[in-house]
Structure 1
Amino acid sequence: MREAQAAGRYERLPWIRVVAGEPSRVSVTMPDRVGGTATRPWALMRPGQRRALFRSTPAGLEPLWLWLNEDGMPRDPHGWHHTFEAANRRISGLGLDGFRCTPHMCRHSFALRWFSIGKLVRGHQMAHLSKDQTDDFREQFGDTWHLVQTMLGHKRVETTKDVYLEPFRRLEVEQLLAHSEGFPVARFMAEAFASHPRVRTDPLAGDS
């Protein structure tokens, strides 16, 4: 980014919009078309609109977009696919045939790992509660399915269950963990998932 600022690259971009003041966590203020300013919630701005936002600093214009290319330019939202393709080619060149990764595989891995962690944590949190208290807790705060749904940004929890966490549904983990006192849950999941076509590695690997 500093190199791009020094070279004046950002000032030459015709599509940028320089924000007014410091953006807040929930909104950003930009110049409007009639010489004034307009404040818009972040939640209503599309990725392409966010990518065009810059702010003025003593060092020059600075992109508000989190992901930048090596030359400092804001990265295209779909640019990660090219990054993974390049990485896959390098891995293949090392002789690791059959090993391939995509951005969406990382998303599935994220869902699987956090569902595993969420289940184990919630199990410890609610171990002392009665069934009625547990049901009340889930009614107020949702269960682990809804936790992962929120983290992935899904509109419907069925998408989270049927697509991203299908391995857990097949194992009926809800019933398993409800009767898991003294049962080696982490080891069982690692062994059970070892043969599942959608699971490459133990989702809890590396946890202590």
Structure 2
Amino acid sequence: MTEWQLFWVGDGGTPTPDSPGLLGRWSDLEVREQSLGLREGMPILVSPDGRVDPRLSAVLRHRDFMRKAEGTRETYAPSFRVFLTFLWRRGRNWDQATSADLEDWEDWRQRGEGNPSLIVGSTWKKELAALQLLYGIAKKLRFIAETPVVMRPVSLSNGMVVESPELAPGDVRNSCVKWLTPRAFRLWRDVGLAGLLPDGMERPEWPGRNDGRDVAFADFVYSSGLRRREAGTALTVELPELGARSYYSGWVGKAVAKRAGRFYYVSHAALQSVEVYQVSTRQAAIRRAQRAGSYERIPGLRVVEEVGRSRRVRWSEPDGRLREGHLNELTAAQRTRMFVRGEDGLEPAIVWLTETGMPMAYRSWTKTFERASDRCAAAGVKVFATPKMLRHSMALRVLVSLHHALDGRLGLSPSQRRLYEDAYGTVWTVVKDLLGHRSEETTRDIYLNPQELHQTGEKLQVARSGQGPTRTLPSCNLAA
């Protein structure tokens, strides 16, 4: 074997004495992990010769890495694995990397002849940030003398001087936002997920097994703007209660959000779509799993006993012990092992289930959306979508609606409004909070120009000084 392997603490649950094979001997695995300082959600890298370097594990459990958002850790860890594999094939261990190694790796990743999977500058920027963090921690812990990520001073427009990696890409766009108008979204959803023909008629050969679930998830994300992980790990007890309002507020737990827990808002129609899924497709999947006895075989299953008003949750462990925690602190992996007692037995607490009734991994939604877009293409419908596009769509709808509302109230024309842009700081603050961005500047950088395009219907021209001719950002299904 010539590749490093990546594993995650807690990824397979906690073995029990009844677990098959060797796992039954590791029923105290959780205790062993805790004694070593390993926490759930921490990556474990195993070298090609089957060894785990305790120094590398110390780097990966360091607070500078573990306090990163779960999604960031999930992105960085695979980058570690592929770079360490590259080093190993050069006869080097992870702590022997040099700046020359990193230069060769950057060249192979972006321009290597024969590389079947060349990456763009934005992807390399993320990989470089991951390696900068890895080796920065290793240097702080004195495991290495120097980091292979060479830094250089860069002067900003405001006169400040900051450190930036020498290998930082120079061709990264600040944003390339893709979105869907309501009409384009409905067309993509109906043809790609619901199995309808472009003219709205039912497709005779459509199996229709998971369309209720998939349509409900798409409606939920398009309305709320939640990230794939945030929406995909929602628990039934966290959903707003359906009533007679136009919009409902919900809460995203800190452990599954990118930065911090926050409120979100979802429309009555979208929440009703989720409710219909729960009492139909979801219940049918649960019944199948209950008849097969699937839930009782899940390692580390936790049964929710009580959820308090303050979002404190009490659950029972497989050994009967009672534990208590907060919904905000439940990770994505923990949520897949949370169950509640229904009328006919145990039921998953997580909203979205597979056809077999098991908790659905939130990453699976990317493939579901890809298949839906392929169906649209096969039907001659030129529209596609990703979970992130639905999130962007919500943000742009809110921006446009709020700006139009303020224009009408103040009697301003679009040209006059641009002169008084500072008066609309509250608009950007609202969208920032809904999206869970760290700063208003991030929201403006991503959505300012697309929002203007959405309002005027004109092509957005972005002049990049010193980088060639004026470029046009893609219309991204806007006119569909």
TM-score by length of 1: 0.67
TM-aligned CA distance change 1:89 to 1:109, over 3 Å: same
1:201 equivalenced with 2:467 (yes/no): no
Alignment of 1:77-92 (within 5 A): 77-92=362-377
Question: What count of residue pairs does the alignment treat as equivalent?
Answer: 173
1:155 equivalenced with 2:421 (yes/no): no
CA contact (8 A) 2:302 2:339 kept: yes
* Cα deviation, residue 23, structure 1: 5.6
CA contact (8 A) 1:111 1:165 kept: no
* Cα deviation, residue 191, structure 1: 2.3
2:196 maps to none
CA contact (8 A) 2:302 2:315 kept: yes
CA distance in 2, matches of 1:159, 1:62: 40
Task: Give the counterpart letter for 1:147 in structure 2.
Answer: V
CA distance in 2, matches of 1:192, 1:81: 30
Deviations 1:58-90 (A, max 9, x none): 311111111112222111011100101111222
CA distance in 1, matches of 2:308, 2:427: 33
Stretches of structure 2 that go unaligned for 5 or more consecutive residues are: 1-285, 412-422, 461-471
TM-aligned CA distance change 1:89 to 1:25, over 3 Å: farther
Task: Give the counterpart letter for 1:118 in structure 2.
Answer: L
1:109 equivalenced with 2:390 (yes/no): no
2:262 maps to none
The structure, 1 or 2, with the larger RCO (C-alpha pairs under 8 Å, 6+ apart) is 2
Bigger radius of gyration: 2
Find the partner of 1:27 among 308, 312, 316. 312
Task: Give the counterpart letter for 1:200 in structure 2.
Answer: N
* Cα deviation, residue 36, structure 1: 4.6
2:41 maps to none
Find the partner of 2:347 among 44, 59, 62. 62
CA contact (8 A) 2:383 2:477 kept: no
CA contact (8 A) 1:167 1:193 kept: no
CA distance in 1, matches of 2:476, 2:377: 21
Alignment of 1:158-169 (within 5 A): 158-168=441-451
2:457 maps to 191
CA distance in 1, matches of 2:449, 2:455: 14
CA distance in 2, matches of 1:85, 1:67: 18
Find the partner of 2:337 among 52, 63, 67. 52
Instruction: Output the aligned Cα RMSD.
Output: 3.3
CA distance in 2, matches of 1:80, 1:25: 30
TM-aligned CA distance change 1:5 to 1:190, over 3 Å: farther
CA distance in 1, matches of 2:405, 2:317: 48
* Cα deviation, residue 100, structure 1: 2.5
CA distance in 2, matches of 1:144, 1:193: 23
CA distance in 2, matches of 1:23, 1:82: 36
Task: Give the counterpart letter for 1:111 in structure 2.
Answer: A
Task: Give the counterpart letter for 1:46 in structure 2.
Answer: T
Find the partner of 2:358 among 73, 76, 82. 73
Task: Give the counterpart letter for 1:192 in structure 2.
Answer: E
* Cα deviation, residue 197, structure 1: 2.4
* Cα deviation, residue 25, structure 1: 6.4
Find the partner of 2:323 among 6, 13, 38. 38
Residues 62-71 or 154-163, more deviating: 154-163
CA distance in 2, matches of 1:23, 1:10: 25
TM-aligned CA distance change 1:143 to 1:74, over 3 Å: same
Percent same amino acid among aligned pairs? 34
CA contact (8 A) 2:301 2:318 kept: no
CA contact (8 A) 2:301 2:317 kept: no
TM-aligned CA distance change 1:99 to 1:200, over 3 Å: closer
CA contact (8 A) 1:112 1:165 kept: no
TM-aligned CA distance change 1:34 to 1:16, over 3 Å: closer
TM-aligned CA distance change 1:54 to 1:159, over 3 Å: same
Stretches of structure 1 that go unaligned for 5 or more consecutive residues are: 129-136, 174-187
* Cα deviation, residue 95, structure 1: 3.4
TM-aligned CA distance change 1:45 to 1:197, over 3 Å: same
